[in-house]
A and B are shown apart, each in its own frame.
Chain A
Amino acid sequence: MADSEHTHDTHPASHGDDHGHSHDHGHHHHEESWISKYIFSQDHKMISKQFLVTAIIMGVIAVTLSVLFRLQLGWSGQSFGITNFLLGDRWAKDGIINADAYLAMVTIHGTIMVFFVLTGGLSGTFANLLIPLQCGARDMASGFLNMLSYYAFFISSVIMVSSLFVENGAASGGWTIYPPLSALPDAIPGSGMGMTLWLVSMVFFIASALLAGLNYIVTIINLRTKGMKMMRLPLSIWALFLTAILGVLSFPVLVSCAVLLLMDRSFGTAFYLSDIYIANEALDVTGGSPLLFQHLFWFLGHPEVYIVLLPALGIASEVIATNARKPIFGYKAMVGSILAIALLSFIVWGHHMYVTGMNPFLGSVFVFTTLLIAIPSAVKGFNYITTLYKGNIRFTPAMMFCIGLVSTFVTGGLTGIILADSALDVNVHDTYFVVAHFHIVMGMSAIFGMLAGVYHWYPKMYGRMMNTKLGYAHFWVTFVCAFGVFFPMHFVGMAGSPRRYYAYSEFPFLQWVEDLQPIISIFAIVGALAQLLFLFNFFYSIWYGQVAPQNPWGSNTLEWTTPVKMGHGNWDGPIPEVHRWAYDYSNPEHEEDFVPQNVPLKPGEHGH
């Protein structure tokens, strides 16, 4: 049988391995300074940690913003010393956040979470860490581009955070920044310098995502080790692969969208503007349409949420299979459903636009495609549950987060069915129902995937173990509190509460669901504080955690075959050769309840 997935141990472009095949041993000889090891590293393992730590810092900022504006929402108009302490007189005089500041805070919260934490922190970290290791490569195809991708991400983060400090405030049109609101500084103060900085930051971010994505795709296609056929790849790699493809195809559209907006703002064009009267004068420009922005934005925006979700699902497949001591159920179906989700994600963007005035027929097309995408998603959910069925489940903190991921994926996915239906969306569009839906799938499901990944691959990143008891406490408090925050929001939204509202006190018809707001805020505050358990555990264990064994979880994938302290090139000797798939857990033909991928087949064994 022709092995068309020809793989061979090519040497990657990264430095440190120019020894040829005869004695490649991955040791590199150059002296490394502190700067080239920790700051300007081209090693995928260091870059993954750089992405992670940057994303954690950005996440702390975004969570803090959310706790502060939840104070306003839970106890509208009441004074809280901490808001003035953190935000100063300009944004929170007398301890009450003002309306402009509120909108800037929700905008930056959303932007940081979707892009910096869930894209940079999920893809950036785990693609970098896992792709070379799980494919059996010494490093990424281009260590240099990899380093550039991190630095573009870093610069982007710095610019985004700096936009919080400009005089007129950060961008304030919601993370979706629709023009004309985002194009006209007269419409809202944040649409001045704040919006310009937002756009500049995003240009760097997209550059980072493109550089990184290209690297990931090339590495997966070209640098798999001998025997690592595509259908032997762990599902984490499949997910990261498709995520990279999604990114490469859709992020450029966001660039074009942002460039057109920059031009409308600064160069007198009218791509998105027409027939506008603001600040006591009619604008000169005509002929543009705000709907163009929305199509361009959501053409990225929808694949973006799958860029967020797929790596989490891939991580879940690995962690669940490892800790249930059972193969992931239906590997081929899981690969197929990742492909289907990735493909379909390009043709559903209009479901964000049902009430924009878009042609209703077009709306129907998007209803159809969006409800279709529910099917491969359902398949994945059922496969996870079946993997657990008759497994032998070990509750590591990572496993707990993965079970939480499945629960939230199912729950959030089901409410997506309501939103996918255009006739129903009419009454819940832009209400708290939408906020509940996307927070449950992104703010719970995807984040849980990220946390599970951190707990599970921490030994690979730092050579030490995180504290398990703290991990349990972190999981349970986070899980309960996060549901406590987002589940009641469905009801707040169905009752007609719009999102991005500074207060609801002006509407008698909404007062009855306002009882839920303080409850949501309390869960939010407790949940946010619980993250301190994680932060402490994460940083403390880097120096004081128990030293990790080589394969603490008894996992099959290749990353666990390296020494605990990895140098450049990952393996001390030659790269292992792969003989089987990644899911031989509790295989009856073997004594041990796991068989790593590099273990040769027994005579007469039927491998996968």
Chain B
Amino acid sequence: MMKLLIILVLVLAIIAIVQLTKVNQLTRTLRQSREEEITNADNKMNAWLMMVWMIVFFISTIVLYIRYGNYLPPPASEHGVDVDKLMSFNIWFITGAFFLINGALFWVSFKYYYRKDRKAWFQVHDNRLEMLWTLIPGAFMAVVIIYGLITWNKMTGPAGENSMRIELYSKQFNWLVRYPGEDKVFGTANVNMISAMNQLGIITEDGMNTMLGEIDGKIAQYTDSINTNRAQLPELRIEAMENQIYKWQRQKQRLLDLGEREEQGLSAWVAGKDDIITLELHLPVNREIEFIFTSQDVIHSAYMPHFRAQMNTVPGVPTRFKMTPTITTAEMRETLKDPSFDYILLCNKVCGAKHFNMQTKIIVHTAADYDNWINQQKTYVATEASPAETPGSTPADSTLSAQPIASLQAAPGH
């Protein structure tokens, strides 16, 4: 019923506009007024509307700045302080330019509307003016460039010797965090080693042997099945199974090709044993962290707005970003008077249907609390032994959001 009414109203509205236009046309013909002759009344009306708009526009802008101008809580990282200062400087500059230039535009539009007895000023060019508004913006740009690049160079420079490396591993649709453990070296990882218990594909000698064994087992099982049941199985099914056997053989070959490698005096296949994998990102305050980002499947982006940090995570191309957190979670909760506040890491590069909910918490501890926490974490080799305790191995862990939103539940089949 409602739909019918809406459609009816729309149709009637269209008919009304058609009729009004026809009336307008007829009136114009009767009055012998022409569309291309803009009446004085129209010129004046539009000139005044320009002024009215300018005022409405400027006031709305100021209101928006007042209500929404405090974009984020104070920056929780060292470089974040520099970034915010740079941002503030730039925002002041562009806001000033915005008001001045728009003001000039609407002012001249208002002031110089057409009057029959006036002739416009035949002003063809003025090189001095052109110089002025080339050099002045040029000077501003020079300042913006230099100030911006100084900040950028500091942010993107190499990490210090004492920095702590943490790997952020992204996949559809959650984050895993890897700490290098006591030996401070990340174990080699490879996609061909990935399994439910080993989401990052960390290679250890045992793990490699187990994986190779499993593959052999699967190949043998399928081969047997085909050989014994060749008569009964449909053609397509045999073909699919043979394809799968081929894929497993390829995977085995890629694993064998990996070979052994030495890294920092430790065999890289040993380094992974003490790696720690968690679902949430825990950081010690006032310690320089160098993040290494990698991705399992598509490009994601590690966005940490409270820390003014962002970096794409790219499969096959490790990326990095360094930062020093300066405000613990507890301190920020105090400042914001919000005991439920948490820092957040969210995905910021479209990565699939659940892109809008690919997040994990970031917890910044005091140094002591962080040490306590990390000592309690299980190393990779421990989880290899008891797989059920591997973070991220159970489906419930695949997204941190406990309550899927109603609209997702209402729309099955994606």
Name which of A14-22, A222-230, A540-548 contacts chain B: A540-548
B317 contacts the other chain (CB 8 A): yes
B408 to chain A, nearest CB (A): 7
* Cross-chain contact A282 with B344 (CB below 8 angstroms): no
Out of B35, B114, B348, B408, name the residue touching A392 (CB < 8 Å).
B114
* Cross-chain contact B299 with A282 (CB below 8 angstroms): no
Name which of A128-136, A203-211, A253-261, A415-423 contacts chain B: A415-423
B219 to chain A, nearest CB (A): 14
B373 contacts the other chain (CB 8 A): no
B152 to chain A, nearest CB (A): 4
Q: A290-B316, A423-B155 given as contacts; is B112 within 8 A of A391 (CB)?
A: yes
* Cross-chain contact A418 with B36 (CB below 8 angstroms): no
Q: Which of A251-285 contact B (CB under 8 A)?
A: 273-278, 281-284
A430 contacts the other chain (CB 8 A): yes
Q: Which of A487-532 contact B (CB under 8 A)?
A: 487-488, 491, 494-496, 498-509, 513, 516, 532
Residues in B with CB closer than 8 Å to A500 are 350, 355
Q: Which of B223-282 contact A (CB under 8 A)?
A: 247, 250-251, 254
B43 contacts the other chain (CB 8 A): yes
Cα A288 to Cα B315 with chains together (Å):
10
* Cross-chain contact B118 with A392 (CB below 8 angstroms): yes
Residues in B with CB closer than 8 Å to A476 are 49
A144 contacts the other chain (CB 8 A): no
* Cross-chain contact B316 with A289 (CB below 8 angstroms): yes
**Residue-by-residue, is A378-391 near B (CB-CB < 8 Å gives 1, otherwise 0)?**
11011111101111
Residues in B with CB closer than 8 Å to A499 are 350
* Cross-chain contact B407 with A382 (CB below 8 angstroms): no
Q: Which of A399-456 contact B (CB under 8 A)?
A: 400, 403, 406-407, 410-411, 414-415, 417-418, 421-424, 426-427, 429-431
A197 contacts the other chain (CB 8 A): no
* Cross-chain contact B194 with A277 (CB below 8 angstroms): yes
Out of B97, B122, B152, B201, name the residue touching A327 (CB < 8 Å).
B122
A36 contacts the other chain (CB 8 A): no
Residues in B with CB closer than 8 Å to A573 are none
Cα A163 to Cα B107 with chains together (Å):
47
Cα A37 to Cα B56 with chains together (Å):
49
* Cross-chain contact A503 with B43 (CB below 8 angstroms): no
B414 to chain A, nearest CB (A): 4
**Residue-by-residue, is B123-155 near A (CB-CB < 8 Å gives 1, otherwise 0)?**
111100110011001100100110011011101
* Cross-chain contact A466 with B38 (CB below 8 angstroms): no
Out of B17, B47, B49, B298, name the residue touching A180 (CB < 8 Å).
B298
* Cross-chain contact B102 with A407 (CB below 8 angstroms): yes
**Residue-by-residue, is B177-194 near A (CB-CB < 8 Å gives 1, otherwise 0)?**
000000000000011101
Q: A403-B50, A540-B18 given as contacts; is B308 within 8 A of A427 (CB)?
A: yes
B310 contacts the other chain (CB 8 A): yes
* Cross-chain contact B101 with A417 (CB below 8 angstroms): no
With an 8 Å Cβ cutoff, the count of chain A residues facing the other chain is 146
Residues in B with CB closer than 8 Å to A13 are none
**Residue-by-residue, is B338-378 near A (CB-CB < 8 Å gives 1, otherwise 0)?**
00110010111111111111010000000000000000000
A422 to chain B, nearest CB (A): 5
* Cross-chain contact B299 with A290 (CB below 8 angstroms): yes
Name which of B82-90, B160-168, B387-395 contacts chain A: B82-90
Residues in A with CB closer than 8 Å to B413 are 90, 98
**Residue-by-residue, is B59-101 near A (CB-CB < 8 Å gives 1, otherwise 0)?**
0110010001101100000000011001100110110011001
B337 contacts the other chain (CB 8 A): no
* Cross-chain contact A378 with B152 (CB below 8 angstroms): no
Residues in A with CB closer than 8 Å to B53 are 479-480
Which residue, of B93, B134, B299, has the highest number of chain A Cβ atoms within 10 A?
B299
Cα A470 to Cα B23 with chains together (Å):
13
Out of B22, B72, B297, B355, name the residue touching A501 (CB < 8 Å).
B355
* Cross-chain contact B109 with A403 (CB below 8 angstroms): yes
Cα A581 to Cα B113 with chains together (Å):
25
Q: A424-B86, A495-B71 given as contacts; is B105 within 8 A of A372 (CB)?
A: no
Out of B47, B97, B353, name the residue touching A188 (CB < 8 Å).
B353
Cα A96 to Cα B348 with chains together (Å):
24
* Cross-chain contact B407 with A467 (CB below 8 angstroms): no
* Cross-chain contact B108 with A392 (CB below 8 angstroms): no
With CB as the reference atom, state the residue of chain A lying closest to B60.
Answer: A487
With CB as the reference atom, state the residue of chain A lying closest to B100.
Answer: A410
Which residue, of A392, A499, A500, A588, has the highest number of chain B Cβ atoms within 10 A?
A392
Residues in A with CB closer than 8 Å to B192 are 282
Out of B49, B56, B126, B191, name the residue touching A276 (CB < 8 Å).
B191
* Cross-chain contact B354 with A99 (CB below 8 angstroms): yes
A187 contacts the other chain (CB 8 A): yes
Q: A357-B319, A500-B350 given as contacts; is B72 within 8 A of A508 (CB)?
A: no
* Cross-chain contact A389 with B296 (CB below 8 angstroms): no
A365 to chain B, nearest CB (A): 10
A165 contacts the other chain (CB 8 A): no
Out of A178, A281, A374, name the residue touching B349 (CB < 8 Å).
A178
Cα A423 to Cα B56 with chains together (Å):
33
B34 contacts the other chain (CB 8 A): yes
A396 contacts the other chain (CB 8 A): yes
B210 contacts the other chain (CB 8 A): no
* Cross-chain contact B102 with A395 (CB below 8 angstroms): no
Name which of A48-56, A119-127, A239-247, A328-336 contacts chain B: A328-336
B197 to chain A, nearest CB (A): 14
Q: A360-B152, A381-B101, A495-B68 given as contacts; is B94 within 8 A of A188 (CB)?
A: no
**Residue-by-residue, is A61-90 near B (CB-CB < 8 Å gives 1, otherwise 0)?**
000000000000000110001000100001
* Cross-chain contact A536 with B194 (CB below 8 angstroms): no
A393 contacts the other chain (CB 8 A): yes
A162 contacts the other chain (CB 8 A): no
A100 contacts the other chain (CB 8 A): yes
Residues in B with CB closer than 8 Å to A585 are 120, 122
B83 to chain A, nearest CB (A): 6
* Cross-chain contact A327 with B124 (CB below 8 angstroms): yes
A40 contacts the other chain (CB 8 A): no
Out of B64, B349, B353, B355, name the residue touching A491 (CB < 8 Å).
B64
* Cross-chain contact A180 with B46 (CB below 8 angstroms): no
Out of A364, A469, A516, name the residue touching B68 (CB < 8 Å).
A516
B31 contacts the other chain (CB 8 A): no
Q: A96-B410, A498-B346, A505-B405 given as contacts; is B72 within 8 A of A385 (CB)?
A: no
Q: A187-B352, A468-B35 given as contacts; is B310 within 8 A of A507 (CB)?
A: no
* Cross-chain contact A487 with B38 (CB below 8 angstroms): no
A144 to chain B, nearest CB (A): 36
Q: A76-B407, A395-B42, A516-B68 given as contacts; is B254 within 8 A of A469 (CB)?
A: no
Residues in B with CB closer than 8 Å to A546 are 25, 28-29, 34-35
B155 to chain A, nearest CB (A): 6
With CB as the reference atom, state the residue of chain B lying closest to A466.
Answer: B35
- Which 3 A/B pairs are nearest by Cβ-Cβ distance? A274-B316, A357-B319, A552-B36
12 further A-B contacts with Cβ under 8 Å, apart from A100-B414, A407-B106, A426-B308, are A98-B413, A178-B299, A289-B314, A382-B101, A393-B112, A410-B98, A418-B91, A423-B151, A431-B348, A465-B35, A509-B305, A546-B35
A-B contact pairs, 23 of them (CB 8 A): A81-B2, A94-B411, A96-B407, A99-B414, A179-B298, A181-B352, A187-B352, A282-B251, A363-B152, A391-B112, A392-B119, A400-B46, A423-B82, A426-B308, A431-B348, A468-B38, A487-B61, A494-B71, A498-B346, A498-B347, A506-B356, A546-B35, A586-B120
Residues of A within 8 A of B (CB): 76-77, 81, 85, 90, 93-94, 96, 98-101, 103, 173-174, 178-181, 184, 187-189, 273-278, 281-284, 286, 288-291, 324-327, 329-333, 355-357, 360, 363-364, 367-368, 371-372, 374-375, 378-379, 381-386, 388-396, 400, 403, 406-407, 410-411, 414-415, 417-418, 421-424, 426-427, 429-431, 459, 465-470, 472, 476, 479-480, 483, 487-488, 491, 494-496, 498-509, 513, 516, 532-533, 536-537, 540, 544-546, 548-549, 552-553, 583, 585-588, 593, 608
